[in-house]
Amino acid sequence: MGTQRNGFKKEHFILSVDVGTTSIRGHVYDKEAKIRGSCITQVVPLFPEVGHVEMDPDALWKGFITVVKGAVQDAGVQMRQIEALGISSQRSTFTTWDRKTGVPYHNFISWQDQRAADLVKSWNRSCTMSAIHGVMKVLYFLSRQKRLLAASLIVFSPQHVTFRLVWVLTHYKQVRQAVAEGNCCFGTIDTWLLFKLTKGQVHATDYSNASSTGIFDSYQMCWSGLLCFLLSLPLSIFPKVENTNHNFGSTDQSIFGVSIPIMSVVADQQAAMFGECCFDVGDVKITMGTGTFMDINTGSKPHTSVAGLYPLVGWKIGSEVVYLAEGNSADTGTAIKWAHNLGELYTQ
């Protein structure tokens, strides 16, 4: 992990950036996986209305750039010594933007956002959902295909992108017009960062992030045509899905002064699973941050749960796919912080 020039060895490093719900963190690692430099900045959520949780794309971009430069500076190295960049990010927080200019049509809509909660409840109780469940149960009885059993049990959640995207297409005329003109891109944070870092050359995501949206079929490993048909979601706006260890291209030289290869993007909970070395079937990790997330390694096949666990792609490296089953409580950390602040209020 170094080159020999003029009689001395020049070290190379790897930069990892995590874009979380409350902070953006960056670490520079050496060849022994030791942290040589770090930087952190806060993410400030926006609450324009009750139940709405958003993030300013420009502020997020500036925070990302600040963290990258700060971590490299803290490591005491030069940007040209960064051999690869990896990005992990919060899942299911998304925006849509102009394919030509890269300008977002609206703020990021957070995974915590509840604007589509009533729509989700309505669909879950609808005759359409009852009919889908019934048909899928019959098909599963006849074929014994696990994906049909999963479809017979599916329940929509506000945490998934699905109905928040339906809400966007319903309420934002400029997004509908851009879709009609073929000029609309959809993406979670990882996809948007890739688009920005490559100056619009790459519109992509990885399997872990895609599977966390609720619009991706983890059994067929593609965007769900059936779901998009039912909800009138245009398949044309979705990014290409690549392996977790895919070479996603390089950052434009104008951003950091050099081009840095982007060698991986991965969803945050799946990244935590990998980082804790949960590589064997049955391995479990529990993380507590803004929410609490429990993930179980289910091996090379997605798990069809009758108890409410959601099947996800953990990662896809080469031809190997590792699946997870996940259960979560979205507001654990937020509730603890609220209780802590409440306690401080009453002790003052």
* Angle, vertex CA 61, rays to CA 331 and CA 112, nearest 5: 15
Residue 345: the pLDDT is 58
Residue 7: the pLDDT is 43
Residue 322: the pLDDT is 98
Residue 116: the pLDDT is 96
Residue-by-residue pLDDT tens, the chain, 348 positions: 555 444 445 799 999 999 999 999 999 999 999 999 999 999 999 999 999 999 999 999 999 999 999 999 999 999 999 999 999 999 999 999 999 999 999 999 999 999 999 999 998 888 888 888 898 889 888 888 877 777 777 788 888 999 999 999 999 999 999 999 999 999 999 999 999 999 999 999 999 999 999 999 998 999 999 899 999 999 999 999 999 999 999 999 999 999 999 999 999 999 999 999 999 999 999 988 777 899 999 999 888 766 678 889 999 999 999 999 998 776 777 777 777 777 765 666
In a domain, 255, yes or no: yes
Q: Tell the burial category of 59 from Cβ atoms under 10 Å away from its Cβ (0-12, 13-18, 19+).
A: middle
Contact between residue 273 and residue 324 where contact means Cβ atoms under 8 Å apart: yes
pTM of this prediction?
Answer: 0.89
Alpha carbon distances (Å) from 316 to 125, 174, 208:
35, 35, 8
In a domain, 153, yes or no: no
In a domain, 145, yes or no: no
Structurally, how many domains does the chain consist of? Answer: 1
Q: What are phi and psi of 299, to 5 degrees?
A: 85, -145
Closest CA to 255 of 299, 200, 187: 200
Closest CA to 330 of 113, 46, 112: 112
For 205, the domain range is: 2-116+158-347
In a domain, 124, yes or no: no
In a domain, 128, yes or no: no
CATH number for the domain that contains residue 259: 3.30.420.40
In a domain, 330, yes or no: yes
Q: Tell the burial category of 340 from Cβ atoms under 10 Å away from its Cβ (0-12, 13-18, 19+).
A: exposed
Residue 63: the pLDDT is 98
In a domain, 83, yes or no: yes
One-letter amino acid at 28 equals: V
The DSSP element (H or E) to which 297 belongs, if any, is strand 292-299
Q: Tell the burial category of 325 from Cβ atoms under 10 Å away from its Cβ (0-12, 13-18, 19+).
A: buried
Q: What are phi and psi of 176, to 5 degrees?
A: -60, -40
Residue 45: the pLDDT is 95
Query: d(Cα 282, Cα 295) in Å, to the nearest integer?
Result: 10
Query: d(Cα 205, Cα 332) in Å, to the nearest integer?
Result: 28
**Locate tokens 């997330």: which residue?**
293
Query: d(Cα 261, Cα 85) in Å, to the nearest integer?
Result: 6
In a domain, 316, yes or no: yes
Query: d(Cα 132, Cα 318) in Å, to the nearest integer?
Result: 35
pLDDT digits (tens, 9 = 90+) for 170-215: 999 999 999 999 999 999 999 999 999 999 999 999 999 999 999 9
Closest CA to 96 of 212, 201, 217, 178: 178
- Which pair of tokens denotes residue 218? 């983890």
Residue 190: the pLDDT is 98
